Chain A
Amino acid sequence: MSRVGYLPLGDRLAMSAEPLVRTLVNIPPIRLLLNFLGRFAPGGRGLVILVPYAWLAFFFLIPFVIVLKISVADQIIAQPPYSALYEITEKGYLMIKLNLSNYKFLLDDALYWKAYLNSVKIAFFSALMCLIIGYPMAYGMARAQPAWRNVLLMLVVLPFWTSFLLRVYAWIGLLNNNGIINNILLGLGLIDRPIVMMKTDFAVYVGIVYSYLPFMILPLYTALEKMDMTLLEAAADLGCRPFKAFVTITVPLSLPGIIAGFSLVFIPALGEFVIPDLLGGTDTLMIGHVLWDEFFSNRAWPVASAVAIAMLSLVLVIMFVQNRLQRRAEAA
Chain B
Amino acid sequence: MELFLCRRALLVGFIVGLAGCGGGNGDQQAATEKATTEAASASNAPAAASTTPAATPAPTAPAASDGEQVLNIYNWSDYIAEDTIANFEKETGIKVRYDVFDSNEVLEAKLLAGNTGYDIVVPSASFVARQIQAGVFQALDKSKLPNYKNLDPDIMKVLAGYDPDNQHVLPWMWGTTGIGYNVKMIKDRMPDAPLGSWDMIFKPEIVAKFKDCGVSTLDAPSEVFPTALRYLGLPTGSQTEENLKKAETLVMGLRPSVKYFHSSQYINDLANGELCLVLGWSGDIIQARARAVEAKNGHDIAYFIPKEGALLWVDTMAIPKDAKHTDNAYKFLDYALRPAVIAAVSNFVHYANGNAAATPLVDEAIRTDVSVYPTAETKAKLFPNVVNTPEYDRLVTRTWTRIKTNQ
Contacts and interface: CB of A to CB of B under 8 A. Distances in A.
B112 A283 contact: no
Given A199-B260, A277-B8, A298 B397 contact: yes
B134 A114 contact: no
Nearest to B393: A298
B393 A297 contact: yes
B18 A169 contact: yes
Contact of A277 (B12, B393, B398): B12
A166 B83 CA distance: 31
A283 B405 contact: yes
A283 B8 CA distance: 16
Nearest to B406: A283
Interface residues of B, number: 37
Interface centre among A81, A178, A283 (most CB of B within 10 A): A81
B105 interface: yes
Contact of B16 (A163, A273, A300): A163
Interface SS of B by simple majority: helix
B390 interface: yes
Contacts of A298: 390, 393-394, 397
A157 B15 CA distance: 22
Given A77-B390, A78-B134, A169-B18, A295 B260 contact: no
Interface string A270-307: 00011001100111010000100101111110000000
Contact of B136 (A79, A111, A274, A300): A79
Contacts of A285: 401, 405, 407
Given A278-B8, A278-B12, A81 B134 contact: yes
A155 interface: no
Interface residues of A, number: 33
A282 B133 contact: no
Contacts of A81: 112, 134
A184 B261 CA distance: 28
10 contacts: A75-B390, A78-B134, A80-B114, A109-B398, A169-B16, A273-B11, A278-B8, A293-B401, A295-B109, A296-B105
Interface of A: 75, 77-81, 109, 111, 114, 163, 165-166, 168-169, 177-178, 199, 273-274, 277-278, 281-283, 285, 290, 293, 295-300
Q: Which 6 interchain pairs have the tightest Cβ spacing? A: A296-B105, A282-B404, A283-B405, A297-B397, A165-B16, A81-B112
